[in-house]
Structure 1
Amino acid sequence: MRVMVLVKATEDSEKGFVPTPENMDMLEAMGRFNDELAKAGILRAADGLTPSSQGKRVAFDGAGRMVIDGPFAETKELVAGFWLWEVKDMEEAVAWVKRCPNPMPGPSEIEIRPLYEMDDLL
């Protein structure tokens, strides 16, 4: 089963990354966690995203397209980073997320979403 593991944005992540001793320790801990994921054979991809102020959205309405510049409202609905994992089931994904270091300096959330597989669509 493939899952997308989404690190939800916070006010801190939307300010952008500025190296500090605290977040360098967090990055090192996250690097060790990513190494564990790779050694376990479940990590397929991982990365952090820049703040939404550097992003754009494209809104679709029939044939029309409208480009919306960031930053975007509702920080709690934004994504600050992600992993793509191959796990045996959702329970395994949850167990790994529970081992994850806190990805933000303060309170944070990680969302786990299964990807559609071709068999799901037939």
Structure 2
Amino acid sequence: MRVIVIVKATSQSEAGTMPSTELLTAMGNFNEELVKAGVMLAGEGLHPSARGKRVHFSGSQRTVTDGPFAETKELVAGFWLWQVKSMEEAVEWVRRCPNPMEGDAEIEIRPLFDADDFGAELTPELRAQEARLRAETEGRANKPR
């Protein structure tokens, strides 16, 4: 199963406070363990929401709002995509993770949808399209733009 592991933002990450060399080293070592175990598919840190935008949809209308965004506890500071056998395995990996922030931190784990989760609504044509797009994006992952 694939999961997204979400590192929640804190007031420090939203202020743009960069991690220490010690934390970067610990995270680098943890990421190396994940890669060697065949768990990590991707992982990135995100800039503070002040550098982001939100697009609100209401019917055919689109409204763009510039960051920063108010609810820090609801924001994402970084993420991993993992391939694990179970949610329990993902939890065990997160338990081994260095604290991603200087103070209190929270990490959320959520499973990604699989094609089978969509049932009959995902027709054979839509499944074929999904497979083609996934192969195309995976092929581009290692090519520079």
TM-score range, shorter chain: over 0.9
Deviation at 1:24, TM superposition (A): 1.2
Determine which of 58, 66, 70 is the counterpart of 2:67. Answer: 70
Q: Which has the higher helix share?
A: 2
Q: Which blocks of at least 5 consecutive residues in structure 2 are unaligned?
A: 120-145
Other-structure match for 2:23: 26
CA distance in 1, matches of 2:23, 2:100: 7
Larger relative contact order, structure 1 or 2 (CA cutoff 8 Å, min sep 6): 1
In angstroms, what is the RMSD of aligned CA positions?
A: 0.8
CA distance in 2, matches of 1:31, 1:15: 22
Other-structure match for 1:11: 11
CA distance in 1, matches of 2:98, 2:34: 13
SS at match of 1:66: strand
CA distance in 2, matches of 1:18, 1:119: 40
Q: TM-score, normalised by structure 1?
A: 0.96
Letter in 2 for 1:94: V
Aligned length: 119
Structure 1 stretches of 4+ with a deviation exceeding 2 A read: none
Determine which of 41, 49, 53 is the counterpart of 2:50. Answer: 53
Q: Which blocks of at least 5 consecutive residues in structure 1 are unaligned?
A: none
Deviation at 1:105, TM superposition (A): 0.4
